[in-house]
Amino acid sequence: MLPFKKKIVTDEAMRPVAVLIEYEDWQRIEKILEAYQLSEKDDVNLTQYAGIIKLTIDPLEYQQQIRDEWH
């Protein structure tokens, strides 16, 4: 976690409602978030997995059986 100074703002009941940080710290956080979001945008092609699992029972029937075991 990045070390940065923060001030927690509370309401009359002392519940936290906001956090104040230095603008420079906010800019660093923004850069980190942007880099993270760009790394997550890598498209994953899931079609390569289509048809891999061969089911022997209807998924909805299986779900109902499992849920019936809970009762």
What is the per-residue pLDDT across 46-63, written as a single tens digit (0 to 9) for each? 888 888 888 899 999 999
**Does 39 have pLDDT greater than 80?**
no
- Element housing 10 (H / E): strand 6-10
CA–CA dist 59, 56 (Å, integer):
9
What share of the chain has pLDDT > 70, as a percent? 93
**Does 40 have pLDDT greater than 80?**
no
State the average pLDDT over residues 15-44: 88
Q: Which two tokens stand for residue 26?
A: 């906010």
| pLDDT number for residue 38 | 79
| pLDDT number for residue 41 | 66
Q: What's the one-letter identity of residue 29?
A: I
Predicted confidence band at 14 (pLDDT cuts at 50, 70, 90)?
very high
